[in-house]
């Protein structure tokens, strides 16, 4: 067990790409925690998909031993927090497990929207903060300007910010000294009953569920029987270890320490991030405050393109669920798409990551229906219902009013793109709250309906600003608005997977865009196909796909049988990506593309 004043626990907060992972790797490398030959680029981003997309999803941690200039050796525990807004709850929990943060800002870029969001989480958690200016090796780096920028925008003292290059290693020793000198040691009582926070958990194919903990008070040992205070479950501890970053067994963990345990826990779902772990026999009096389970906010349907793949899809989802407790799923049947699942996610990125993993790791072709938020239906009889799927919308005559979730969005953007951003937000029913400047960058705050952000807001934001805008949001409240369900009929048949909730004032224009897009997206058939958008029984937009004789072999006159066969095969291949609705075949890509609002 390590003495409290020789421990420093910290996290690194940064905007995506400002160099958080590179700095973490350097700290590990310079302290000899990992042998040089074992050093993989971006050690902490363990999942392939994370590495590919350059985002960190699962919180991760490493214990570093650092011999400081004062002659003592310190234990530095770094908790790696996820950088994306969808995982804000995980970020806020892991922040509460440490006492300080390194605030990394790219010295050629300055403060971005996620810098702000993450640093405010750190400030909320009561952290001491050491600003670090990264990438000073770049010609465009301007540390003095970025110091001012940090002071202006965040409002913390940046005069002694540490200039570094995580790439070349310049300044890293100063960072290590600053962690010891400028961040506080943890507090805790070794003799009090055990109180530990469940910071994170994940599934390991050899060890089963691994739980990361931060001990607040008391001592935890291998073999102890512990209780999770929220779930009430009791477990015997099989293994206690620290992460270096590979697991190294340890006999006990005392106050201020961070480590992992295993305890024959079956699935990640049995653990709750933020839960309090205590001894079964001698529990602590109070659990840690502020526990709340992560709530999915974006829902969509996932269906196999080939109906025969349903069991394979179920299998794949159950396997993924072992490792990710933050999405929800239940079986769903759609008149149009057959058997599938309605799944709930923490946000759009989370949705994309899960869908990608299902398609890639389990080799499934999937149809994703329109992402939808959770609407609150206030019924005339006083009941309040949650609507997860527009297809389940009850008859309007039973509904008194409908509420939708709103967000507070913060967007940072260079001056010259501000006009485009304001227009985009206005188009999405946004209400401007605030507009300030830091140098030539504008910071705007908008109150927006989450429903308008879940389709393609982020893509649009990136494209109108050539990638220079940054964006972050928080859910704010549910508010009433004039919302209706719009259905799409293809060849006079409603396609439930295409129905969406829209604002009544926007219904007509959305409907027109959708039917026009579907006209492009659905190939011609041998007969005319009407496509209609309707609210209740009233058609608000209509297009027709004209008929065509679809004979792909017509071009091959005469006898070339192999060529003919090849063409037919190609057609069959294309068919796999199609889905039959009555007499009409709709390509799977149409379900998402029909909803994009770029035209």
User: With respect to ligand GTP, which residue has the nearer C-beta, 80 or 445?
Assistant: 80
| Rounded CA separation 44/572 (Å) | 44
Site string for ligand GTP, 284-323 (x = CB under 6 A): ----------------------------------------
Q: Does residue number 173 form part of the binding site for ligand GTP (CB under 6 A)? A: no
Q: How far is the CB of 7 from ligand GTP (least distance, A)?
A: 24
Q: State the nearest-atom distance from the C-beta of 106 to ligand GTP, in Å.
A: 8
Task: Please tell me whether 159 is known to bind a ligand.
Answer: no
On whether 136 is known to bind a ligand per the annotation, the reply is yes
- Residue 46 C-beta: closest distance to ligand GTP, Å: 12
Residue carrying the six token digits 């570093």: 64
Known binding residue 369? Answer is no
In the complex, the smallest distance separating the C-beta of residue 467 from ligand GTP, rounded to whole angstroms, is 14
Nearer to ligand GTP, 80 or 217 (CB): 80
Task: Report CA Rg, the chain.
Answer: 27
Residue of 347, 549, 554, 357 whose CA lies nearest to 455: 347
Instruction: Give the three-state DSSP class for 17.
Output: coil
Tell me whether residue 20 or residue 485 sits nearer to ligand GTP (CB atom): 20
In the list 134, 230, 276, 372, the residue contacting ligand GTP (rule: CB under 6 A) is: 134
What strand order describes the sheet that includes 247-249?
234-236, 225-228, 276-279, 195-204, 208-217, 258-262, 239-243, 247-249
Task: Pull the structure tokens for residue 384.
Answer: 């309040």
Q: How many residues bind ligand GTP (CB under 6 A)?
A: 19
Quickly count: other Cβ atoms within 10 Å of residue 181's Cβ: 12
**271 alpha carbon, distance to own chain's centre:** 19
Does residue 48 have a known ligand-binding role?
no
Is position 81 an interface residue for ligand GTP (rule: CB under 6 A)?
no
Q: Is the CB of 83 or the CB of 449 nearer to ligand GTP? A: 83
Please identify, among the stretches 50-58, 150-158, 210-218, 376-384, the one whose residues bind ligand GTP according to the rule CB under 6 A. 50-58
Instruction: Verify binding: residue 56, ligand GTP, rule CB under 6 A.
Output: yes
The interface region with ligand GTP, picked from 16-24, 94-102, 339-347, 548-556 by CB under 6 A, is: 16-24
| Residue number with CB closer to ligand GTP (19 or 511) | 19
3-state helix, strand, coil in the chain (%, to 5): 30, 35, 35
The CA distances from residue 86 to 18, 348, 350, 518, 521, in Å, are 19, 7, 7, 30, 31
Q: CA of 251: how far to CAs of 2, 214, 234, in Å?
A: 12, 15, 20
- Report whether 593 belongs to an annotated binding site: no
Question: How many whole angstroms separate alpha carbon 114 and alpha carbon 120?
Answer: 10
Closest distance to ligand GTP from the beta carbon of 547 (Å) = 50
Instruction: Please say which residue, 118 or 532, places its beta carbon nearer to ligand GTP.
Output: 118
| Out of 20, 58, 517, 579, the residue judged to bind ligand GTP by CB under 6 A | 20
The residue among 101 and 230 lying less far from ligand GTP, judged by its C-beta, is 101
**Residue 574 near ligand GTP by CB under 6 A:** no
Rounded to whole angstroms, how far apart are CA atoms 336 and 340?
11
Binding map of ligand GTP across residues 326-365, x = CB under 6 A, - = no contact: ----------------------------------------
Smallest distance from the beta carbon of 166 to ligand GTP, in angstroms?
4
Scanning residues 148 to 167, which ones bind ligand GTP (CB under 6 A)? Answer: 165-167
Residue (of 343, 354, 352) closest to 302 by Cα position: 343
Query: Residue 205 CA to chain centroid, in angstroms?
Result: 23
135 binds ligand GTP (CB under 6 A): yes
Give the nearest distance from C-beta 200 to ligand GTP in angstroms.
16
Between the CA atoms of 438, 440, 446 and 449, what dihedral angle is there, to the nearest 10 degrees? -130
Read off φ and ψ for residue 355, nearest 5 degrees.
-65, -45
Residue 57 vs 213, nearer CB to ligand GTP: 57
Task: Name the β-bridge partners of 217.
Answer: 195
Q: Where are the beta strands (DSSP E) in 251-316?
A: 252-253, 258-262, 276-279, 298-304
d(CA 112, CA 107): 11
Residue 20 assigned ligand-binding role: yes
- Note the residues at the interface with ligand GTP (CB under 6 A): 14, 16-22, 54-56, 83, 134-135, 137-138, 165-167
């Amino acid at each position: 067990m390590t003495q409290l004043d020789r421990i420093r626990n910290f996290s690194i907060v940064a905007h995506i790409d400002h160099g958080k992972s590179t700095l973490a790797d350097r700290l590990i490398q310079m302290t000899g925690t990992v042998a040089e030959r074992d050093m993989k680029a971006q050690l902490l981003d363990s999942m392939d998909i994370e590495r590919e997309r350059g985002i960190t999803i699962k919180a991760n941690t490493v214990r570093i031993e650092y011999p400081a200039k004062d002659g003592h050796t310190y234990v530095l525990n770094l908790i790696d927090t996820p950088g994306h807004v969808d995982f804000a709850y995980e970020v806020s929990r892991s922040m509460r497990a440490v006492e300080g943060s390194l605030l990394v800002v790219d010295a050629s870029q300055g403060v971005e929207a996620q810098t702000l969001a993450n640093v405010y989480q750190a400030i909320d958690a009561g952290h001491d903060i050491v600003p670090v200016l990264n990438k000073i090796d770049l010609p465009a780096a301007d540390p003095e300007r970025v110091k001012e920028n940090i002071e202006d925008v965040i409002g913390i003292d940046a005069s002694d910010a540490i200039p570094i290059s995580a790439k070349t290693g310049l300044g890293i020793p100063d960072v290590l000294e600053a962690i010891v000198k400028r961040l506080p040691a943890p507090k805790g009582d070794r003799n009090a009953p055990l109180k530990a926070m469940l910071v994170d958990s994940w599934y390991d194919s050899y060890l089963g569920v691994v739980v990361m903990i931060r001990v607040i008070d008391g001592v935890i040992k291998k073999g102890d029987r512990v209780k999770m205070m929220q779930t009430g479950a009791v477990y015997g501890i099989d293994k206690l270890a620290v992460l270096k970053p590979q697991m190294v067994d340890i006999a006990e963990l005392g106050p201020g320490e961070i480590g992992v345990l295993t305890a024959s826990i079956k699935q990640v779902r049995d653990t709750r991030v933020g839960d309090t772990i205590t001894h079964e026999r001698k529990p602590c009096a109070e659990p840690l405050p502020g526990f709340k389970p992560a709530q999915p906010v974006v829902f969509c349907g996932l269906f196999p393109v080939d109906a025969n793949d349903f069991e394979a899809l179920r299998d794949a989802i159950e396997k993924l669920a072992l490792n990710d407790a933050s999405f929800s799923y239940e079986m769903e049947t759609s008149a149009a798409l057959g058997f599938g699942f309605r799944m709930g996610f923490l946000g759009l990125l989370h949705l994309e990551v899960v869908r990608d993993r299902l398609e890639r790791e389990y080799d499934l072709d999937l149809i994703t229906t329109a992402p939808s938020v959770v609407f609150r239906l206030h019924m005339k009889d006083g009941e309040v219902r949650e609507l997860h799927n527009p297809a389940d919308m009850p008859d309007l005559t039973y509904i008194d009013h409908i509420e939708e979730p709103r967000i507070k969005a913060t967007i940072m953007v260079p001056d010259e793109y501000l006009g485009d951003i304001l227009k985009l937000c206005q188009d999405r029913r946004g209400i401007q709250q605030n507009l300030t400047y830091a140098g030539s960058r504008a910071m705007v705050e908008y109150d927006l309906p989450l429903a308008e952000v879940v389709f393609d807001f982020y893509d649009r934001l990136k494209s109108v600003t050539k990638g220079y805008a940054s964006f972050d949001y928080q859910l704010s409240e549910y508010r009433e608005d004039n919302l209706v369900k719009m259905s799409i009929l293809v060849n006079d048949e409603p396609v439930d997977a295409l129905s969406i909730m829209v604002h009544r004032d926007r219904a007509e224009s959305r409907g027109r865009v959708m039917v026009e897009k579907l006209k492009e997206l659905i190939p011609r058939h041998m007969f005319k196909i009407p496509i209609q958008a309707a609210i209740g029984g009233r058609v608000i937009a209509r297009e027709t796909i004209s008929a065509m004789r679809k004979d792909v072999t017509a071009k091959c006159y005469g006898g070339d049988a192999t060529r003919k066969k090849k063409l037919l095969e190609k057609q069959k291949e294309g068919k796999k990506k199609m889905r039959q609705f009555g007499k009409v075949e709709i390509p799977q890509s149409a379900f998402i593309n029909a909803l994009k609002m770029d035209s």
